[in-house]
Amino acid sequence: MLFQSIDFLIYLVITFIFYWSLPFKYKKIFLVLVSYFFYSYIHQWFFFLLFTQTTISFFVGILLTKTSNQKKKIFVAGILSNLVFLLFFKYFNFFIENINAVIKMSGISFQLLTLEIILPIGISFYTFQNIGYLIDVYRGDFEPTKNFIDYNLFISFFPKLIAGPIERAGNFLNQITIPRIPQFDKFIAGFQLILWGFFKKIVIADNIAVIVNKIFLLKDPDFFIVSAGAFAFTIQIFADFSGYTDIARGIAKLFGFDLLKNFDKPYLAKSPSDFWRRWHMSLSEWIRDYIYIPLGGSRVSTSRWVVNLFITFFIVGLWHGASWNYIIWGLYYWVLYLIYRFFKTFFNYKIFKTKYNYLVSIPFMFLLTNIGWLMFREVDINYLLQYLYLNPFKSSLNNINASIYLFIFVSMYTLPLVILPYVNKIIQNIKINNYATFVKYASMLILLISILLLKSDSSGDFIYFQF
Q: pLDDT tens for residues 48-68?
A: 999 999 999 999 999 998 877
Q: For position 329, what pLDDT does the model report? A: 96
User: What 8-state DSSP symbol labels residue 111?
Assistant: -
Q: pLDDT tens for residues 259-275?
A: 999 999 999 999 999 99
Please give the mean pLDDT across all residues of the chain.
89
Calculate what percentage of the chain has a pLDDT beyond 90.
61
Q: For position 428, what pLDDT does the model report? A: 65
Q: For position 4, what pLDDT does the model report? A: 79
Q: For position 32, what pLDDT does the model report? A: 96
Q: For position 130, what pLDDT does the model report? A: 96
Q: Where is average pLDDT lowest: 58-67, 191-200, 421-430?
A: 421-430
State mean pLDDT over 98-110: 82
Angle subtended by helix axes 302-320 and 324-346, to nearest 10: 150
DSSP assignment of 407-465, as one string?
A: HHHHHHHHHHHHHHHHHHHHHHH---HHHHHHHHHHHHHHHHHHHHHH--SS----GGG
Indicate which residues carry an active-site annotation.
320
The SS3 of residue 13 is: helix
Q: For position 129, what pLDDT does the model report? A: 96
Question: Is 355's pLDDT higher than 80?
Answer: no
Q: For position 109, what pLDDT does the model report? A: 75
Q: For position 43, what pLDDT does the model report? A: 79
Q: For position 282, what pLDDT does the model report? A: 95
In order of 423, 444, 447, 450, the CA distances from 436 in angstroms are 11, 12, 17, 21
**pLDDT level of residue 226 (50, 70, 90 thresholds):** very high
Question: Is 323's pLDDT higher than 60?
Answer: yes
Calculate what percentage of the chain has a pLDDT beyond 70.
95
Q: pLDDT tens for residues 381-395?
A: 888 898 888 888 888
Q: For position 227, what pLDDT does the model report? A: 94
Residues 6+ apart with CB under 8 A from 77: 60
Q: Where is average pLDDT lowest: 84-93, 235-244, 265-274, 413-422?
A: 413-422
Q: For position 388, what pLDDT does the model report? A: 87
Question: Is 347's pLDDT higher than 70?
Answer: no
Q: For position 254, what pLDDT does the model report? A: 96
Q: For position 66, what pLDDT does the model report? A: 81
Q: For position 430, what pLDDT does the model report? A: 65
Alpha carbons within 13 angstroms on the beta-carbon side of residue 63 total: 17
**pLDDT level of residue 455 (50, 70, 90 thresholds):** confident
Q: For position 38, what pLDDT does the model report? A: 93
Report domain extents, the chain: 6-181, 183-270+363-467, 273-356
State mean pLDDT over 326-330: 95
Q: For position 178, what pLDDT does the model report? A: 87
Q: pLDDT tens for residues 25-40?
A: 899 999 999 999 999 8
State mean pLDDT over 173-186: 88
Question: Would you say the pTM of this structure is higher than 0.85?
Answer: yes
For the chain, the residue count is: 467
Question: Is 433's pLDDT higher than 70?
Answer: no
Question: Using CA atoms, how far apart are residues 202 and 455, in angstroms rounded to an integer?
Answer: 5
Q: For position 338, what pLDDT does the model report? A: 94
Q: For position 262, what pLDDT does the model report? A: 94
Q: What is the largest distance, in Å, between two alpha-carbon atoms of the chain?
A: 77
